[in-house]
């Protein structure tokens, strides 16, 4: 890269960081990429969308950046991902080598059949000499094709291993919520389906928690979207530190989270739900710029045990009903099945 081009890229990067800083948006790699693309002017649609956001009275917020990412960066990346193309190129090269080796082997086999027929009917010494030379040439050609195939396999092995690693990484990223870095709804739905299939064939219980942050909109309205993001990360961190390795915590959508607990009875699930509720409440929410305490976070939780014959959607809807009961009973409490809410609002 030339010096002038390098300086230009550095200037774009500095401008992108400046925009993120001015709008108090964390410089996550995906956020930086979006603003960098905007500054570079490579995407007219993105530029128009960004300028429309800048003109709005509320200015640019992290939620705006995430929406712009979904609409202008991530779909494009997925569509133009190099992984399928790289894999196709490797497989095509391997197929070409296999085809060449098979063609050579088929030709050699035909030559051997022809030589056998000639030998069986009897041939002269000069003809025998010519046949021998031809078979030697065919043998060398076949050996060369086989060596080429072996070399292609050897050189491609590490590339294919790397492709597998890259595909695994893409899959992991596709199953994570970018803000909280815990599982996303897609991962939850896939995992819950697997757990339900296992539960149908055993007597082991399966529990589900549905967790909703109380009055979440107030955090966004009163303190801004950055504080709202901080609340979401706080709850996600609490879930990750509370559950077992065999459990799954995921962001279900917005301010709602879910936890899947295999081999867990209702009492155990209620105990864990109460532990989560208290842990969330015990954490003080600070304004990062001043370290000022701006309040506490509370959560309402619904708890249910899988019932034989339920679909995943029915299970989720039923537990969501218990969550609604927790909200109806004043929030900051746990409701499981038809129980009265456990835990109450601390003062």
Tens-place pLDDT, residues 143-186? 777 777 667 666 666 666 666 666 666 677 788 898 898 999 99
Q: Which domain holds residue 111?
A: 82-174
190 inside domain: yes
Q: Are 199 and 291 contained in the same domain?
A: yes
Mean pLDDT of the region 76-81: 43
Q: Are 197 and 330 contained in the same domain?
A: yes
CATH number at residue 215: 3.30.70.270
300 inside domain: yes
Q: Are 163 and 253 contained in the same domain?
A: no
Distance CA(190)–CA(207), nearest Å, equals 16
230 inside domain: yes
> How many other CB atoms sit within 10 Å of the CB of residue 85?
10
Q: Are 200 and 161 contained in the same domain?
A: no
User: Which domain-ending residue is among 79, 113, 132?
Assistant: 79
345 inside domain: no
Q: What pLDDT, on a 0 to 100 scale, did the predictor assign at position 178? A: 87
Q: What pLDDT, on a 0 to 100 scale, did the predictor assign at position 112? A: 74
Confidence band, pLDDT 50/70/90 cuts, at residue 206: very high
Q: What pLDDT, on a 0 to 100 scale, did the predictor assign at position 78? A: 42
Distance CA(209)–CA(270), nearest Å, equals 9
Q: Are 220 and 313 contained in the same domain?
A: yes
User: Which domain-ending residue is among 23, 58, 79?
Assistant: 79
Q: Is 127 a catalytic residue?
A: no
Do the beta carbons of residue 297 and residue 283 sit within 8 Å? yes
% of the chain at pLDDT higher than 90: 32
Kindly report, residue by residue over 295-319, the tens digit of the pLDDT: 889 999 999 999 999 999 999 999 9
- Better-scored residue on pLDDT, 170 or 244: 244
Kindly report, residue by residue over 37-70, the tens digit of the pLDDT: 777 776 777 777 777 777 765 667 777 777 776 6
Q: Are 29 and 75 contained in the same domain?
A: yes
Q: What pLDDT, on a 0 to 100 scale, did the predictor assign at position 139? A: 80
Q: Are 148 and 99 contained in the same domain?
A: yes
342 inside domain: no
Q: What pLDDT, on a 0 to 100 scale, did the predictor assign at position 95? A: 67
269 inside domain: yes
Do the beta carbons of residue 180 and residue 232 sit within 8 Å? yes
Do the beta carbons of residue 64 and residue 53 sit within 8 Å? yes
Q: Are 32 and 88 contained in the same domain?
A: no
User: Which domain-ending residue is among 79, 111, 137?
Assistant: 79
Residue 211 has pLDDT above 90, yes or no: yes
Which of 255, 274, 292, 310 is labelled catalytic? 255
118 inside domain: yes
Residue 89 has pLDDT above 60, yes or no: yes
Q: Are 70 and 102 contained in the same domain?
A: no
Give 259's contacts (C-beta < 8 A, 6+ positions apart). 208, 209, 211, 239, 243, 247, 248, 249, 250, 272, 276
Q: What is the mean pLDDT of the chain?
A: 79
- Structure tokens of 245? 């390795």
Q: Are 192 and 332 contained in the same domain?
A: yes
346 inside domain: no
Number of domains in the chain: 3
Q: Are 192 and 315 contained in the same domain?
A: yes
Q: What pLDDT, on a 0 to 100 scale, did the predictor assign at position 278? A: 96
Q: Are 236 and 191 contained in the same domain?
A: yes
Query: What strand order describes the sheet that includes 299-305?
Result: 248-253, 256-262, 206-213, 299-305, 334-336
């Amino acid at each position: 890269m030339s010096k002038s081009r390098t300086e230009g890229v550095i200037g774009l990067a500095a401008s992108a960081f400046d925009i993120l800083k001015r709008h108090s948006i964390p410089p996550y790699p995906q956020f930086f990429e979006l603003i960098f693309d905007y500054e570079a002017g490579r995407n007219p649609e993105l530029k128009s969308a960004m300028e429309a956001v800048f003109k709005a009275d509320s200015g640019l917020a992290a939620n705006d950046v995430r929406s712009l990412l979904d609409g202008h960066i991530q779909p494009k990346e997925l569509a133009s991902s190099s992984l399928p193309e790289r894999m196709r190129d490797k497989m095509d090269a391997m197929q070409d080598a296999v085809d060449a080796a098979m063609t050579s082997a088929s030709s050699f086999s035909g030559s051997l059949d022809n030589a056998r027929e000639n030998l069986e009917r009897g041939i002269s010494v000069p003809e025998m000499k010519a046949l021998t030379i031809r078979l030697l040439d065919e043998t060398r050609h076949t050996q060369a094709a086989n060596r080429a195939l072996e070399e292609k396999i050897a050189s491609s092995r590490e590339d294919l291993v790397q492709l597998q690693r890259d595909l695994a990484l893409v899959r992991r990223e596709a199953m994570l919520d970018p803000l909280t870095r815990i599982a996303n709804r897609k991962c939850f739905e896939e995992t819950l389906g697997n757990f339900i299939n296992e539960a149908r064939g055993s007597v082991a219980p399966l529990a589900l928690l549905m967790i909703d942050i109380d009055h979440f909109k107030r955090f966004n309205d009163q303190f801004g979207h950055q504080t709202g993001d901080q609340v979401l990360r706080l709850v996600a961190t609490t879930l990750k530190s509370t559950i077992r390795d065999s459990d799954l915590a995921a962001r279900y959508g917005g301010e709602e989270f879910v936890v899947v607990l295999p081999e867990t009875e209702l009492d155990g699930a209620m105990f864990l739900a109460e532990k989560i509720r208290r842990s969330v409440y015990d954490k003080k929410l600070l304004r990062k710029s001043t370290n000022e305490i701006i309040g506490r976070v509370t959560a309402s939780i619904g708890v249910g045990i899988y019932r034989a014959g339920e679909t995943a959607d029915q299970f989720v809807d039923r537990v969501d009903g218990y969550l609604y009961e927790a909200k109806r009973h004043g929030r900051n409490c746990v409701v499981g099945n038809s129980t009265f809410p456990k835990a109450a609002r601390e003062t």
